[in-house]
Structure 1
Amino acid sequence: MLKVLLTLLFTSAALYAGGGAISTAETPDLTMTWVGFACLFIFAIGYYFVAAEEKYEIDKAKPALFIGTFMFILIAIYYALNGLDVGLLENEVNHLILEIAGIFFFLFVAMTYIESLIHMGVFDRLKYNLVTKGYTYRKLFWVTGFIAFFLSPIADNLTTALILATVLITIEKERKDFLVPGAINIVVAANAGGAWSPFGDITTLMAWTAGKGTFADFLFLLPASLIGYLATAFILSKFVPEEVPFFDAEKEKKPEMAEGAKVVMVLGIFTIATAVLSHQVLHLPAMWGMMFGLAVLKVYSYGLKKKYGSEHFNIFHSIAKIENNTLMFFFGILAAVGALYFIGWLALAAVVYDPSVLGPTWSNIGVGFLSAIVDNIPVMSAVLKANPTMGLDQWMLVTLTAGVGGSMISFGSAAGVGVMGKLHGIYTFGAHMKYAWTIVIGYFVSIAVWYLQYQMLGIGH
């Protein structure tokens, strides 16, 4: 251990003395070394605990953050012991931090806006408006599904799914013939809606910020996302009863939105527009526009504080309610995938994209099924890191399959995991798998629409 510490100390001193010059040497392949196998083993064990968070009652951010940081520490020790160029490792980590930070702060601002709208009663009002319309269970199924599909591109799939799962449990607390298909419908709609917008899903956001397509390019995925969702929803709706749920108007009071809520909604749209302009026109990171939007919200919150008092709306209270575990999970899992890429494992995995093996189309279709089993964030991160040679049409396909494919198993996406938590004991793995075949049908319908649009008609290139 002393030898390791001394080696690290001297290599750091040498790097400092050299002014931290950027290394241009070729990164060595570490796959067949002890650190290569150790990191692969650590990733597998860590990801097991991520997937089994319900079983062990451990937040998924904890194992993700541990493996993400520990794997790079092991690599650094290996470099120090073997006298390798630590400048390569430093460059990789700095690049990874920059990559993660851009998406991290983007999500930070988006979550702040959502928490602000929740605090100001916007979603409570939406929930009340839905349950007082006198709709049948089947109509509510369709209404919540369409809201999820078109809210997800703006609010993100996890937040959308959580909000509408709360609406479901408010409407009905016991009838599984409504709650289970309704929950699946929300998860599928939120994931499908998130696939055609850079803001709708972390995987889509990652592909956009990585420069795999412009903002407008992702919008061309709308037909495939929508028609695939409708195919699943149509079949699922047949299992939902046509009865009208009981509602006691005397017990439920109409919630009022706080003063300034509508302005905050407008500022949210303005912030999204600023992010798009920053990335597409000004060539700044998308998060730069988002942070500017946060600054504008802070200024507006100051005005509300002066007018209505400090308890009316405090933006720091909204920031405090952000799901930091989601952000920590995101950091940890991307760092872990970055370590596997640096070692060389992802280059081996990318062989399947070679036309002589599977080729890009079948590989990208397989990504959807892998996303359902593993979770779409690390799978999409691995594809982006491996960076196989593909055209725009194939990058749009993998964005579609990673987003939509996560719906096939209940824990395959953040939306599914979130709804499982909201409808505990009702929306379970077993309940989901009973209807999983409907999602598989929708998945292949989405791919068929993509094929017709991109390969046969040439629309979207």
Structure 2
Amino acid sequence: MRVAGIPLEFFLFAIVLGMIAFARVSTLATALAGAAAITLYKVVFAPYREGAGLAGLMGHAGAEWVGLANLLALLLGFALLARHFEDSGIPAKLPDYLPDGWTGPLVLLAAVFVISSFLDNIAAAMIGGTVAHAVFRGRVHIGYLAAIVAASNAGGCGSVVGDTTTTMMWLAGVSPGQVFHAYTAGVVALAVCAVPASLAQHAHCPIVKDAPAGARIDWPRVAIVGLILLAAIGANLLLNLRFRHWSEAAPFLGLALWAAIGVTAGLRRPDWSVLPGAAKGAAFLLALVWAASSMPVEALPAPSWQSALALGFVSAVFDNIPLTALALGQGGFDWGFLAYAVGFGGSMIWFGSSAGVALSNLYPEARSVKLWVCHGWHVIAGYVAGFFVMLALLGWHPG
């Protein structure tokens, strides 16, 4: 069924995303109900690519379950990994290494960028927000909050363990080398937005440079973080030599991550209390990914650098997780451009990325589109500048 030539599934999906973004309803309940409604519509009225009716649904579930299982395991495992990193003492010691003046907030943004390259961007944004709350005495400029989110998304855009969207690409068979060049744009974007944001923060509230008394680094926890990451990366590299696509394998990546968590639990006990909250967030994202996988991707515009640039702006309004799922289903993108677009592009509005949503829980005043755009204008400028610098230097090369 089509409306104005567009399959009805896209309108149903847009309604779900619009309610998540703007309606005062439970985002988890909306995502689950939306996924169920789209699934029912597909079964009754619009066949899946794998077939019609319940048989088509079962075939589609069989094609998608490995990716969904891996994503669930990684989201829950990364929540424990992030808490290990927070408890390692490194975030508490960071203020000792931040310089005075406006360069202090600048270095903090660079640190968030680096942290996000090997730790999930949500965790990097939360760490940056926590440090900022301490060193700026709770008076953090909204433009600087936007820059923290932008730095976390820029740092994660070229790393398959730095952002949920790049992890999804990894799970779908995109190699780490196919997204790494996104850092060309990410570094430019960070440079464009970090300086004005740091100057605004320094004018709003200068930095306090001392770490809490008695702060120290727990090196065993640092080692645990490294071992867990190595287990995930090693499993992916080994399985890529054996399977052409993740749908051909069991969810070994998630299993490897959790095996590393279990093996290291005797050295430092994981903080299991983070799992209930992480499970709710994972259920929300998995519902959106499942709904996105049901979209008829053959009806989307042909992949090009123009469509990738547009996806960045769409990502600022709609969650970048389902957008990534749609693009992966369609194929034909330069994955570095897509990773940058859907990752950094979501920074332009507070609810455009998971990192922005998470940080707004610490700073409720950030939940204003008008204030975010007005004070975070540099994020939009950084997105456009980074995209076109990468296009000029590297060109568009579909993977």
One-letter amino acid matched to 1:181 = G
Q: TM-score normalised to the size of structure 1?
A: 0.75
Q: Which residue of 2 aligns with 1:172?
A: 136
Structure 1 residues 141 and 330, CA, compared in 2 at 3 Å: closer, same or farther? same
Q: Which residue of 1 aligns with 2:186?
A: 225
Q: Does structure 1 residue 374 correspond to structure 2 residue 315?
A: no
Of 46, 51, 73, the residue aligned with 2:40 is 73
Per the alignment, do residues 84 and 157 of structure 1 end up closer, same or farther by CA in structure 2, a change over 3 Å counting?
closer
Paired residue total: 389
Corresponding residue for residue 177 of structure 2? 216
Question: 2:29 corresponds to which residue?
Answer: 62
C-alpha distance in 2 between matches for 1:395 and 1:128: 35
Which residue in 2 is equivalent to 1:310?
none
The 1-side partners of 2:207 and 2:263 are apart by 43
Aligned partners of 1:289 and 1:98: how far apart in 2?
10
Question: Which residue is equivalent to 1:49?
Answer: 19
How far apart are the structure 2 equivalents of 1:110 and 1:331? 15
Equivalence for 1:347: 298
Equivalent in the alignment of 1:3: none
Aligned pair partner of 2:169 in 201, 204, 207? 207
The equivalent position to 1:409 in structure 2, one of 345, 349, 352, is 349
The answer on whether the counterparts of 2:112 and 2:124 sit within 8 Å (CA) in structure 1 is: yes
Q: Distance in 1 between matches of 2:360 and 2:260?
A: 35
Unaligned runs of at least 5 residues, structure 1 = 1-29, 305-312, 354-358
Can you give the 5+ residue segments of structure 2 that lack an aligned partner in the other structure?
Answer: none
CA deviation vs aligned residue, 1:38-70 (integer Å, no higher than 9, x gap): x555433332231136xx2x4422211121123
Q: Deviations over 1:391-416 (max 9, x none)?
A: xxx33222221111111112111111
What is the CA–CA distance in structure 2 between the aligned matches of 1:237 and 1:50, rounded to whole Å?
31
2:124 corresponds in structure 1 to: 160
For the residues of structure 2 that align with 1:217 and 1:224, how far apart are their CA atoms? 14
Identity of aligned residues (%): 21
- Residue in 2 aligned with 1:197? 159
Q: In angstroms, what is the RMSD of aligned CA positions?
A: 3.1
CA–CA separation in structure 1 for the residues paired with 2:80 and 2:12: 33
Whole-angstrom CA distance in 2 between matches of 1:132 and 1:219: 31
SS at match of 1:374: coil
Contact 1:278 1:289 in 2 (8 A): no
- For the pair 1:336 / 2:291, whether they are aligned, the reply is yes
1:39-438 to 2 correspondence within 5 Å? 39-40=9-10, 42-52=12-22, 56=24, 58-78=25-45, 86-118=54-86, 121-122=87-88, 125-133=89-97, 135-136=99-100, 138-176=102-140, 179-211=141-173, 213-241=174-202, 244-246=206-208, 252-257=212-217, 260-283=220-243, 288-302=252-266, 304=267, 313-315=268-270, 317=272, 320=275, 323-339=278-294, 341=295, 344=296, 346-348=297-299, 350=300, 352-353=301-302, 360-387=304-331, 389-390=332-333, 394-425=334-365, 428-438=368-378
Deviation at 1:165, TM superposition (A): 0.7
d(CA) in 2 for partners of 1:210, 1:402 = 16
Which string of whole-angstrom CA distances, capped at 9 and with x for unpartnered residues, describes residues 320-373 of structure 1? 35511221111110111123x2xx3x432x2x32xxxxx612111111111111
Letter in 2 for 1:315: P
- C-alpha spacing 1:426/1:46, structure 2 compared with 1 (3 Å): closer
Alpha-carbon offset, residue 431 of structure 1: 2.4
Instruction: Name the larger-Rg structure.
Output: 1
Partner deviation per Cα, 1:439-460 (whole Å, 9 max, x = no partner): 222112211222123229x8x9
1:103–1:287: 8 Å Cα contact kept in structure 2? Answer: no
| One-letter amino acid of the structure 1 residue matched with residue 133 of structure 2 | I
- Deviation of 1:226 after TM superposition, in Å, equals 0.8
Q: 2:46 & 2:198 partners in 1: Cα distance?
A: 57
2:380 matches 1:446: no
Q: Trace 1:25-44 onto structure 2 (pairs within 5 A).
A: 30-31=1-2, 37=8, 39-40=9-10, 42-44=12-14
